[in-house]
Chains A and B, each alone.
Chain A
């Protein structure tokens, strides 16, 4: 797992995906930071955090698009799958490398916090809770993106596919509001990625949401492992 993790991180930088991702992420988060916090002359960053949801919906597919699809296309997955490593090790190595890449992006919020602290008092508790929420949400989406990339050998299909999957996860709320049967709409609402995230930006730290995001990441990673496992058996 360690070897794959290290290779993946360095490949993000040699393939310049890292730079594109970080640049776009910093630019958009900077824009929202300016538009919602600085412009209004407040030290509350929750406006920026709630806008970040759509930003990561768009940016995470860029991060995950080549994860397994590139390996498939270049036949390098043959090297991984015939090496004495567990399938879990392969998938998690890639997953954590992508998460670390993502953390490099979102940690910029602390810089924004520092900037604000020059002008007034920053509520670090809320910044930290929001950061955790962004991290957990991203971790779940990354797992979904990697799952999609393991299904195709085309990077574009992989990017568009993960975008659609992540969009669907986002739109669970909308679906819930269209369904009149209480029972089903309640279930859908409790599966909502957005509502739970929105709670965090309002200052609610809900442990069940933390567990929800972590379980989602675990399930998507598990499915990715099963996809490789299935190929080995069928």
Chain B
């Protein structure tokens, strides 16, 4: 269990983390979502005891990171943003080094080989780390974090540099680890966090912008009805007909994707589903729909929705209550 209370960090005059509080329960996978420079890595660095906090307290399984750093660090496996790899070592000797460094008591050979299998680095075991590709380096970094089977795992952007197949593998791996570990992972990709985490904390400009279960948050975010449609037909006529649909907020014609086919972006009033109406309009006029998809929200949209939206506004003003809401669900 990780308890973070009123954590604040100044870098000189710059406020990097502003009064963050949250709790991660045992066996929970928590996702940190935020744009670059939002304070995700800083928060993680403070939890792992790499840097100090300006104020606030961090308890890892009841152990204060500042008072008893060695005991607290023994609870944590950490994969920093840049994996701490010694480039001139082989994977095997590096993992052996980390095994010794962490004073691991588990049987060396079986433990290390099971970690290598888990992270799929067995085939590069004897290679020098500087010759590995970024994806392999990332996985060696993850393997290093797993040594000693620590109860808490903190993974800073674990999927960076991996190809799509590897991302799926790592996601599954983290999901499996989440069954008997407490995991915090960060990302700036929403879908990635949605797929893995039980709970999401959105960090924006050093503050907690939202803290809720993935289910609740996804529902709130996907309430948005923004559609992207490609319709074959005269642009002006299509626009005219689409605008007549009830409950539509706006229609915007984007570029011509194929000859005679334009892409339109539209947004509906809250709680309205436009898809059937759009279909009916095009059928009536004999236009063909070549593509229809709901528009993916960018991180900025999500921040905007969450920071500006009414749903979270009261939570924002009472950060202490927000934590409880998130924890009970």
B51 within 8 A of A: yes
A residues near B (Cβ < 8 Å) are 2-4, 6-7, 10-11, 14-15, 74-86, 231-234
From A11, A77, A78, A84, B88 is in contact (CB under 8 Å) with A11
**Contact of A6 with B51 at beta-carbon distance under 8 Å, contacts A83-B73, A84-B74 already known:** no
Q: Are B50 and A75 in contact (CB under 8 A)?
A: no
User: Which single residue of chain B is at the shortest CB-CB distance from A5?
Assistant: B100
Q: Are B86 and A85 in contact (CB under 8 A)?
A: no
Q: Which label, helix, strand, loop or mixed, suits the secondary structure of the A interface?
A: helix
Stretch at the interface among B76-84, B253-261, B303-311: B76-84
**Contact of A76 with B86 at beta-carbon distance under 8 Å, contacts A2-B100, A232-B51 already known:** yes
In whole Å, how far is B40's beta carbon from the nearest beta carbon of chain A? Answer: 15
- Chain A residues lying within 8 Å of B288, measured Cβ to Cβ, are none
Total count of chain B residues near the partner, CB < 8 A: 30
From A11, A77, A80, A234, B52 is in contact (CB under 8 Å) with A234
Which residues 279-323 in B have Cβ within 8 Å of A in the complex?
A: none
Q: Are B84 and A76 in contact (CB under 8 A)?
A: yes
Q: Are B87 and A81 in contact (CB under 8 A)?
A: no
B residues near A (Cβ < 8 Å) are 45, 48-52, 66, 69-71, 73-74, 76, 78, 80, 82, 84-89, 93, 97-98, 100-103, 144
**Contact of A231 with B52 at beta-carbon distance under 8 Å, contacts A78-B84, A84-B102 already known:** yes
**Contact of A82 with B73 at beta-carbon distance under 8 Å, contacts A76-B84, A77-B84, A232-B51 already known:** yes
Q: Are A84 and B82 in contact (CB under 8 A)?
A: no
- Chain B residues lying within 8 Å of A76, measured Cβ to Cβ, are 84-86
Cα A82 to Cα B87 with chains together (Å): 19
Cα A11 to Cα B97 with chains together (Å): 12
Cα A77 to Cα B80 with chains together (Å): 11
Q: Are B101 and A83 in contact (CB under 8 A)?
A: yes
User: Which single residue of chain B is at the shortest CB-CB distance from A86?
Assistant: B70
Q: Could you jot down 19 A-B contacts, CB within 8 Å?
A: A2-B100, A3-B100, A6-B97, A11-B88, A14-B88, A74-B84, A76-B85, A77-B84, A79-B80, A79-B101, A79-B144, A80-B84, A80-B101, A82-B73, A83-B101, A84-B70, A232-B52, A232-B66, A234-B52
